[in-house]
Amino acid sequence: MILDFLNVFIFLLVGIFMVSITLLLSKLVHPRKITKEKMIAYECGEDPVGETWIRFNNRFYVIALIFIIFDIEVVFLFPWAVAFTKLGNNFLAFADMMIFLAILLVGFAYVWVKGDLEWVKSYFTDHGEEVLKSPND
Amino acid sequence: MIQAEYYNIFVKIIDQLAVLDFLPPVWKFILASVIAALVFFHVIAIFALVAIWVERKVAGHIQDRLGPMETGWHGVLQTLADAIKLLIKEDIIAGGIDRRLFVLAPVIVFMTALAVFVVFPVGENFIVSDLNIGILYIVAISTLVVPGIIMAGWSSNNKWSLFGAMRSAAQIVSYEVPVGLAIVCAVMAAGSLSMQTIVESQAGGFWNWFIFSKFPFGFIAFFIYFVASLAEINRTPFDLPEAESEIVAGYMTEYSGMRWSFFFLAEYGNMLAVGAIATTLFLGGWQTPISLLSFIPGPVWFTAKTMFLVFVHIWLRWTLPRLRVDQLMYMCWKVLTPFAFVSIFGIGLWMTF
């Protein structure tokens, strides 16, 4: 088994190696004419204003949290899926996992009803007023 | 001698060369592995050259124009010319960026795209190594692309890059859930994580392929996998991370020349990879559809099915408009994920009774 994973390791190394070799080859032939404009971040011709490394909208954080919960669930599903045929497809194994899934689905329903799966939580009208979207819209 | 379980086609060829007899078996194995990696690197590169040309031709004909026509016969040499242009293009690393992360990002993205190819069962004896955790390994290593993309976006010190990277990360991790659940469906039916065993359990005609054998749940799982994998590799209609009309080129904005082309190469490598995974899990891998056609070797079937799925990717790109971010999240959490649960439930019931 350890040799199988040696294959993976060698593939990763060859990936790094081939990228480096190609970049080196490119470095030998490409021109290098540095001007002041080239060194500025590309923002469609405007000079960049302010810092880019800023705090970010926390809805990405909510998505990441929901993802972690569901991904752990998928991790629990994999061993069960492998063992399912070996357990003789019996009803007990099936019911067991369905109870586990049902408990998780309660959480999923909660997230859904609370509106955390909505991307747009509020919008602006033409008059500039902010309107909160209700979760059931 | 190398143990029989490690005997893939590359090891076999190396083992038969008398010139290399002075090498100990482990070194022969390593040599075979390096050759395999180089072969798959070139498979990705040549596939990208052909697929980009095909994509531009298909785009042209769908939009009632001709596409590239000037370079070579019907423009076949167009991508080759583009590749040479990219090689001799200036590699600009703008000021104010985080240089180490900036340089590392394309390497990580491309490296993971290549590493996925270790476990593809191209034919009956044609697999680099049949890991016993095959499909789980694919899920694990293809997720490594997310740190690569975030590194590219964050280090660029460019607002477009940061938006693109955050969108891409949110999209990839969200769609990881339906992809995982759809894969669980196939694993349930096969009872194994090893890619070769999954293919073997679909033997004996196209009605035994998982897409048909547990109808309609197998079909639902295949459809979910196909749609979600489009989102995983940032293809249209899910290409918000690199939406040209709003955020220029997303996380790739600051990259130029060869560095940029490795992102592009990885994208095409991933296209090939998800086509191959869908083929393995749901379309019977290298199995023939009917026994009458079994004189055609397995690798031909595998390639044909994968290429068909890649063609569908290209076809969809020029047919469907891009989704909005809220539609993207709606699609993932409120359509694909519930249906994936339904299909797990259905396949479980089917197999129990």
Cβ proximity of B339 and B220 under 8 Å: yes
Dist CA B87 CA B70 (whole Å): 21
Mean pLDDT, rounded, for B311-340: 87
Residue among A2, A6, A7 with most chain B CBs within 10 A, to mutate = A7
Q: What is the DSSP letter of B331?
A: I
Q: Which amino acid is at B343?
A: S
What angle (nearest 5°) sits at the alpha carbon of residue B267, between those of residues B266 and B271?
110
User: DSSP secondary structure string, B242-283?
Assistant: G-HHHHTTGGGTT--HHHHHHHHHHHHHHHHHHHHHHHHHHS
Rg (CA), chain B: 21
Q: Is the pLDDT of residue A6 over 70?
A: yes
**Average pLDDT, stretch B179-192?**
88
Give yes or no for a contact between B56 and B28, defined as CB atoms under 8 angstroms apart: no
Find the farthest-apart pair of alpha carbons in chain B and give their distance in angstroms, rounded.
65
Question: Interhelix angle for B25-62 vs B99-115, to 10°?
Answer: 100
Please tell me the distance in Å from B293's CA to the nearest CA on chain A: 30
* Pairwise CB contact (< 8 Å): A67 & B174: yes
Give B 243-262 residues with CB within 8 A of chain A: 248, 253-254, 257-259, 262
The answer to whether the Cβ–Cβ distance between A86 and B129 falls below 8 Å is: no
At A21-78, the pLDDT tens digits run: 988 888 888 888 888 877 777 777 777 777 777 777 777 888 888 888 888 888 888 8
Interface test with A, best of B1, B38, B87, B137 (most A CBs within 10 A): B87
Pairs across A and B, CB distance < 8 A: 210
Q: What percent of chain A has pLDDT over 90?
A: 1
| pLDDT at residue A101 greater than cutoff 70 | yes
* Helix, strand, coil % over all residues of chain B, rounded to 5: 75, 0, 25
Q: Minimal Cα distance from B89: which residue of A?
A: A30
Chain-chain contact of A70 with B177 (C-beta, under 8 angstroms): yes
Could you write out the DSSP letters of every residue in B65-129? S----SSSGGGTTHHHHHHHHHHTS-----TTS-HHHHHHHHHHHHHHHHHGGGG---SSS--S-
In A, residues 32-61, which contact B (CB 8 Å cutoff)? 32-33, 38-44, 48, 52-53, 56, 60
B34-93 per-position pLDDT tens digit: 888 898 899 998 999 999 999 889 989 988 888 888 887 888 888 888 888 888 888 888
The full DSSP string for B133-181 is: THHHHHHHHHTTHHHHHHHHHHHTT-HHHHHHHHHHHHHHHHHHHHHHH
Q: B170, A70: Cβ pair inside 8 Å?
A: no
Judge: B181–A26 Cβ closer than 8 Å, yes or no.
no
Ordered alpha helix ranges (H), B191-209: 195-200
- In contact, B323 and B237? CB cutoff 8 Å: yes
- CB atoms A81 and B184 under 8 Å: yes
Residue A81 to residue A94: CA distance in whole angstroms:
10
**Alpha carbons A115 and A137: distance in angstroms, whole number:** 10
Segment B227-251 mean pLDDT? 81
Q: Please report the ipTM that was assigned to this predicted complex.
A: 0.85
Q: Which two tokens stand for residue B218?
A: 């197998």
pLDDT band at B2 (very low <50, low <70, confident <90, very high): low
Determine the residue among A1, A2, A3 to mutate to test chain B binding: the one whose Cβ has the most chain B Cβ atoms within 10 Å: A3
Whether residue B179 is predicted with pLDDT greater than 60 in this model: the reply is yes
The domain spans of chain A are: 62-132
> Which chain B residues touch A120 with a CB distance below 8 Å?
326
The reported pLDDT for the residue numbered B308 is 92
Q: pLDDT per residue over B251-261, tens digit each?
A: 888 888 888 88
pLDDT, position B224: 92
Task: Show residues of chain A in contact with B136, CB under 8 Å.
Answer: 78
Specify the range with the lowest mean pLDDT, choosing from A88-102, B11-25, B170-184, B208-222: B11-25
- Lowest mean pLDDT of B21-25, B172-176, B196-200, B269-273, name the range: B21-25
Residue pair B125/B285 in contact by the 8 Å Cβ criterion:
no
* CA B153 to centroid of chain Cα atoms: 22
The SS3 assignment for A1 reads: coil
Residues making up chain B, counted from first to last: 353
- pLDDT at residue A33, as a whole number: 83
Read off the pLDDT band of B320 (50, 70, 90). confident
CA proximity to B117, closest of B136, B89, B138, B133: B138
The pLDDT of B3-28, averaged and rounded, is 73
Q: With CA atoms as reference, report the closest residue to B121 among B191, B12, B195, B47.
A: B195
Using a 10 angstrom Cβ sphere, with 0-12 exposed, 13-18 middle and 19 or more buried, the burial of residue A77 is: buried
Tell if the CB–CB gap between A70 and B337 is shorter than 8 Å.
yes
**Confidence at B6, pLDDT banded by 50, 70, 90:** low
CA atoms of B185 and B281, how far apart (whole Å): 9
Write out chain B residues lying below 8 Å of A81, CB-based: 184, 187-188, 191
Can you state the angle between helices B145-155 and B257-282, rounded to 10 degrees? Answer: 160
Provide the pLDDT for residue A72.
87
What span, in angstroms and rounded, lies between the C-alpha atoms of B4 and B295?
26
Instruction: List the one residue out of B107, B47, B181 whose CA is nearest residue A71.
Output: B181
List, in order, residues 6 or more apart from B7 with CB less than 8 Å away: none
